Amino acid sequence: MPASCCKPDYDAAFDARTARRQLTAYRRSGASGSTLRLVETIRDAGARGSTVLDIGGGVGIIGLELLAAGAERVAEVDASRAYISVARREADRRGWGARTSYRHGDFVELAEAVEPADIVTLDRVVCCYGDWRTMIDRATERSRRLVGLVYPRERWWLRLGIGCGNLWLRLIGRSFRGYVHPERAIDERIRAAGFSPRNDHEGWIWRTALYERVAATDRSGAA
C-alpha cells in the first residue's frame, strides 16, 4: 500500500473527464513523449507474440500500441474506474476487445492473482505510489522477459513542484500524492530482481528505462 494512513482516492485524481481528455489527445496525435519512447524500445526488443501486463495503464495507450506491434494479449490493472472504462471501450472500438482484459484495483494488493506476462510496463506509475519498493518487487515478479517503466528524474525542482502540488491536494482534501523516488535505488532494485538494462533514456523530467531478465546461467557466470 502507499505509505500513508489512508488509501489514495485514485478515482478522484484520475476521473472520467481526465480520461476522456487523454483519449481525445491519443486519437488525435497517437502516443507521444516518454510513452512513445517506451513503446518504441519495447518494439525494438520484440513484442510480437508476447503477453503484456500494463500496470496503471490509464486509457490503454501502451497496450493498444503493442497490440498493433504484434503482441498477443494485454492485461491492464488500474486503480481508476474511469480509466478502466475508457480503455475497455477503446479496445472494443478498435476490434481488440477479445485480446484485452482489465482489472480495477491496487496492483500491489492484486499482484498474486495476476497472471505473469512476457512484458510488464509501468508508465508514470511509480511516481503515483508511496511504497515504490513493493511496487517494483511485485512488477518484476510478474515479468518473464521485459520490464519497462517511466518515472520522474531526481531533480530538486521536480521535488519542489510535486511538493507544492501535494500541498494543494492536502488543502482541497484530496488523499492522492505524487512522489519523486530515488533513481539509483530503483535501478538497483530492478537489477537485484534479475534484470539487466537494455535501454535507458534520461530526459529533463522523465526517465524511460527498459530491463531484460537475465538467465540464471548468465547471472551465475556459467556457460
CA distance 218 to 223: 7
Are the CB atoms for 51 and 71 separated by under 8 Å?
yes
Report whether 53 contacts 66 (CB < 8 A).
no
Residues 90-131 have pLDDT tens digits of 999 999 999 999 999 999 999 999 999 999 999 999 999 999
Question: Is the full-model pTM beyond 0.75?
Answer: yes
Query: pLDDT value at position 84?
Result: 97
Q: Is the separation of the CB atoms in 59 and 86 below 8 Å?
A: yes
DSSP helix/strand/coil, 115? coil
Contact 107, 136 (CB under 8 A): no
What is the average pLDDT score of the chain? 93
Cα(117)–Cα(115) distance, integer angstroms? 6
For residue 64, give its domain range: 10-214
Please write the tens of the pLDDT for every residue from 206-221.
999 999 999 754 655 5
Residue 157 maps to a domain: yes
- On whether residue 2 sits in a domain, the answer given is no
What cell was used for 190? Answer: 530492478
Give residue-wise pLDDT tens across range 140-152. 999 999 999 999 9
Contacts of 99 (CB under 8 A, 6+ apart): 67, 72, 73, 74, 91
Residue 220: inside a domain:
no
Say if 219 falls within a structural domain.
no
Examine residue 1 and state whether it is found in any structural domain, yes or no.
Answer: no
58: left (phi over 0), alpha (psi -120 to 50) or beta: left
Number of folded domains that form the chain: 1
In a domain, 18, yes or no: yes
Domain contains 5:
no
Buried b (16+ CB within 10 A) or exposed e, 170-181: eeeeebbbbbbb
Displacement of CA 116 from its chain's centroid (Å): 15
